[in-house]
Structure formats: structure tokens, C-alpha cells
Structure 1
Amino acid sequence: MNQLKIAVFVGSLRVDSFNRRLARAVEKLAPAEFAFRHIQINDLPLYSQDFDAAYPAVATRLKKDVESADALLFVTPEYNRSVPGVLKNAIDIASRPWGTNSFAGKPGAVIGTSIGSTGSALAQQHLRNILAYLDVPMLAQPEVFVHFKDELIADDGTVSNEGTRKFLQGFVDNYVAWVRRFVR
């Protein structure tokens, strides 16, 4: 089977992002034909409709990165009970100008982790609403709200807890099947 290109959006810019660790854990559990590429969002200007006439080079790069992917994976923390601004900004840029939505039709999933006991449940729900509007078919189950503890996932994505690893493997198996339904 050909490699499937997965665009990974990590909604945290922090160097030691828990969500980046979670993304790496998912990548380690996925089959070899799934090639994950972390999409750069830390250098994007704030979206303005003024861009629609002539998109900045970094915004054009973002759109091309999304368009070259077969599927999407969003791994997000929760900021003030919602989606981090940097992630929402990237989504706004890649979905504009009107009629050039780079996300449309690409299968996706959203997961996240937080030190709070509810993981990133509200941010994920808000993100699902946004992506539904942008015509991204989203994997509904299983939902992944990981209550993060520092020793749970190493920097390289190794999961120390066997129950958590099995749970994440279940998500990955469902995500792989979901993507394959759309991409042949």
C-alpha cells in the first residue's frame, strides 16, 4: 500500500508540549504506511480578510501542506474551555479565501491531553463543530481525553502505562480504518 500522508496539527506551541508527546505516541502505534507530518503553525500571522487578495507566503505554505495530506489529525490542549487561538488561526487561514477550503473532504480525528481531569473535552467539541462546518468527516469514536501526568508519555512518544497504551492503540486502529474508508 502507498504511504498515506497525515497532517498533524498540534494546538500547543510550548517546547515541552504534552499534546506533542501524545501525537508522537499515536505515530508510534500507527502502521508504517501512515506518514505523519507536523504542520508548522507558530509562524503564521493573525488571519485577516485582507489576505484574500494576496496570501502571505507562510499562509500559502500552510494551505499547500494541508492540500498535500490525505488525512488530518488534530491534537489539542484546552485553553479557557476552548480551542487554542493559534490552532483556530491556522484553521481560518487554511480554509480561506472563500471557495478554497484546503480541509474539505479530508478525513480527520481530534484527540487531546491536559493536566485537568477532563482532558481537553470542551476544546475537542468546539474543534469538531468548526471542522464539521469545513466539511471534514470526523471520526466520532473513541473519544480521547487523556488526563496527563508527566511520566505517562515520554518525549519520544513512549507510553509508560499499559492501559493507556492499549486505549491509544484502540484509537489508532479506529483512526486507521476511518482514513482507509476515504483514501484508497
Structure 2
Amino acid sequence: MSVRVLALVGSLRAGSHNRQLAEAAVKLAPEGSEVVVYEGLAEIPFYNEDIDVEGTVPAAAARLREAVSGADALLLFTPEYNGTIPAVLKNAIDWLSRPFGAAPLGDKSVAVIGTAYGQYGGVWAQDEARKALGIAGGKVIEDIKLSIPGSVTRFAEIHPADDSEVVEQLTEVIVRLNSHAATPAAA
């Protein structure tokens, strides 16, 4: 079975270290799986029930829902903004939590990782993202964690894909997420 992992990156900055981590994940996907970085989170309007009406859902939100529906698992890469999750990632989670009872996020295997400048690597943002994803219906894999501190200095002159420690840890994350996604839900 081939496993398709959709990566959502919570930083829109071109030189984002979390985007670089996602790019590394694409390269590290083991045989029989693929990691695809989703493009377009910046185009999705803020969630509003008034515009989330069947037949008139904004195209950018509909594309996100379709991409998530076609994935076996999600891997979120989040920086930490003011001690919490970036708005663009929270907005994506909100769109993916609807429509009630038929949300694309429903029962999808999800892991949250990332890097941040601080000494804890963005653990608060990751915890907040896991909480929101779980409430939204995702099957959050709580024991898959990777928080890389000091991103600004650690990745100042090296891409995460060239950091052997990061490569080892990120590979383990992908392999474990693939395993969860490939395991059928208990009946």
C-alpha cells in the first residue's frame, strides 16, 4: 500500500525553516510513500460559516479539503508565534473540521512537528495544534514529536536536510506516521 502524507506548513515566509523541514521530509519519504507539501494556505479566507455553504465554498478552501481528503495522513510543521499556533495553520484546521460529520480531517492520522527560535523548539505551538486537530476530528498521534530549538542559529548556514541529527529524527517521524496511516482503524 502506498501512503500519501500531506504536509501543511504554518509559516508563509519564503525562507521558513519549517518549510525547509517539510522540503526535507519530501526527500526522506521511504519507498512506498510520498510526502507532498500543500501550497495555498495563504489564499484561504478566514473561516466563516456564512461563506461555508455547499456549492459556494471559496475555491481555496475547497482545494484544501480535496487535498486532505486524498491524503492518508497529515504532517503539520509549525513555528511558534507569541507562544501559540500561527493563524494560517489554525484557519486551515477550522476549514478542515467542517462540514460536521463529513469533515476531511475526520479520523485522518495526524502528527505535528516543527522548529522555532526559542529554546524549546515550539512545543507550545505544537501542543496547541495537536489540541485543535484532535477536537476537529483528526486522529492525532500524540507520541510522534519533534521540536527543534534554536532554528535561527542552527539552520543559519545549513539546510535541515543536511543536518544528520534532523534527518534521522525526521525520517523516524515519517516512518512512524506512515505506519499509523497504513494501519486500518479498529472496527
Structure 1's 20 and 134: CA in aligned 2 closer, same or farther, altered over 3 A? same
1:131 and 1:152 map into 2 onto residues whose CA distance is 33
Partner of residue 143, structure 1: 145
Structure 1's 78 and 90: CA in aligned 2 closer, same or farther, altered over 3 A? same
Stretch deviating more after TM superposition (90-99 or 55-64): 90-99
Partner of residue 161, structure 2: 158
Question: Does residue 32 in structure 1 map to residue 31 in structure 2?
Answer: yes
Regions of 4+ moved over 3 Å: none
- State the Cα distance separating 1:140 from its structure 2 match: 2.1
Partner of residue 64, structure 2: 62
1:144 and 1:121 map into 2 onto residues whose CA distance is 9
Structure 1's 100 and 152: CA in aligned 2 closer, same or farther, altered over 3 A? farther
What is the letter of the counterpart of residue 113 of structure 2? I
Identity %: 35
- State the Cα distance separating 1:127 from its structure 2 match: 0.8
Stretch deviating more after TM superposition (168-177 or 127-136): 168-177
1:143 and 1:152 map into 2 onto residues whose CA distance is 24
**Matched residue SS, 2:74:** strand
2:134 and 2:184 map into 1 onto residues whose CA distance is 16
Deviations 1:144-178, CA, capped at 9 Å, x for gaps:
10022124752xx5232x33332333323322222
Partner of residue 8, structure 1: 7
Contact 1:107 1:182 in 2 (8 A): no
Contact 1:25 1:153 in 2 (8 A): no
What is the letter of the counterpart of residue 10 of structure 2? G
Point out where structure 1 has 5 or more consecutive residues left out of the alignment: none
What is the letter of the counterpart of residue 46 of structure 2? L
1:81 and 1:69 map into 2 onto residues whose CA distance is 29
What is the letter of the counterpart of residue 41 of structure 1? L
Structure 1's 117 and 182: CA in aligned 2 closer, same or farther, altered over 3 A? farther
2:161 and 2:143 map into 1 onto residues whose CA distance is 23
Partner of residue 119, structure 1: 121
Superposed CA RMSD in Å reads 1.9
Contact 1:113 1:119 in 2 (8 A): yes
What is the letter of the counterpart of residue 22 of structure 2? A
**Matched residue SS, 1:87:** helix
Contact 1:74 1:109 in 2 (8 A): yes
2:158 and 2:175 map into 1 onto residues whose CA distance is 19
Structure 1's 94 and 41: CA in aligned 2 closer, same or farther, altered over 3 A? same
Partner of residue 86, structure 2: 84
1:150 and 1:117 map into 2 onto residues whose CA distance is 14
Stretch deviating more after TM superposition (46-55 or 108-117): 46-55
Contact 1:4 1:35 in 2 (8 A): yes
Point out where structure 2 has 5 or more consecutive residues left out of the alignment: none
Number of corresponding residues: 179
**Matched residue SS, 2:35:** strand
- State the Cα distance separating 1:122 from its structure 2 match: 0.4
Partner of residue 183, structure 2: 181
